[in-house]
Structures are given as C-alpha cells and as structure tokens.
Amino acid sequence: MATDMTETETAGRTAAGGSVCVNETHKWTEDECRLFIQMRDKHNMKFKSGKRGASRDAFTIILKEMDLLDKVTPEQARKKWTNLSQKYKELKHPPTGTGTEEGEDTPVSWSYFQDMDKVLGGKTYHYSTLSCLFFGDISRGAGCIHFSRRAK
C-alpha cells in the first residue's frame, strides 16, 4: 500500500566523489507535502521532455526551490510522488466491494486528496469530451478525425 506523505524517510547525500557521505532523516511536514504537490504540477512539462535523466533533473529543481535538496534526494522525491499518485488513484477508483471498516483513508479523510485531484484529476480525457470532425460526403463514407480536449 502507498505510504503517507508524513512518513519518515532517510535522505542519503552524495559527496563530490559520488559516495554517500551522510544519512539524515527528514520528516515531511504537511505544508511541505502540499507545496511539493504544487511544485510537481508547476514543473510537469520538465518531466515529459523525453531526455534521459529529465525526471531526476526536474525533482532536483523542485527540491532546490523548496530548499530541501540538503534533506531529500531526487530519487526520494520521485518515490514520494509515486506513492502520492498511487494512493490518489486507489482512493479515486477503489476496487469494487471494498469498504473502510478498518479505518482506511477515503477521499474525504486523506489530507492530500483535493491537492492531488487538482493536479491529476483533470489530466485524463473523458469520452464526453471527444469530438469528431467530419469531412467529405457522408453517403460515400466520409472520414472522421477524432480529437479531444482536456476536461475541466
């Protein structure tokens, strides 16, 4: 199961020679988590460049802007985002027949659901937003170009 954003994580720092020289423990605050979600959205296009190492570089930028680069590695930030995304998806589309009898998080109880929904909720295309542009003579088997626009 995905971990919560306030879970304690160990941050290993890399020395100039490439070896890990210090291990620190950083506990994410709720404000840091919320800012992290906003920053990941702000820098979303940097993750899609297709270049090798783009994700690492983008997380490095985010951590620098958050003043956390000395506490959290880009790899840990990537894992944090993966855990957040996974938890969001699990809560957004829970398996059929599951309940919350054992106190599991729900979209209402998970503190980051609304923040994540703002970032990920509108990123999918829905069938209701599909449009078809016809060209040619319909009686002769006109063509149709499908396109979609981002759901709001």
Range of the domain at 35: 8-120
User: Both 103 and 132 in a single domain?
Assistant: no
User: Both 43 and 116 in a single domain?
Assistant: yes
Q: Over the stretch 69-94, which tens digit does the pLDDT of each residue have?
A: 999 999 999 999 999 999 999 888 88
C-beta separation of 130 from 146 below 8 A: yes
Neighbours of 36 (CB within 10 A): 24
User: Both 96 and 133 in a single domain?
Assistant: no
To which H or E segment does residue 74 belong?
helix 74-92
Q: Which candidate, 65, 63, 90, 88, places its Cα nearest to that of 77?
A: 63
pLDDT recorded at residue 102: 63
User: Both 130 and 71 in a single domain?
Assistant: no
To which H or E segment does residue 80 belong?
helix 74-92
User: Both 41 and 116 in a single domain?
Assistant: yes
User: Both 35 and 85 in a single domain?
Assistant: yes
User: Both 137 and 114 in a single domain?
Assistant: no
Cα 109 from chain centroid (whole Å): 19
The verdict on residue 112 lying in a domain is yes
The verdict on residue 3 lying in a domain is no
Question: CB neighbours of 76 closer than 8 A, spacing ≥ 6?
Answer: 9, 11
The total domain count for the chain is: 2
Strands (E) across 56-140 are located at 130-135
Q: Over the stretch 105-150, which tens digit does the pLDDT of each residue have?
A: 777 889 999 999 999 986 543 333 344 444 455 445 545 444 444 4
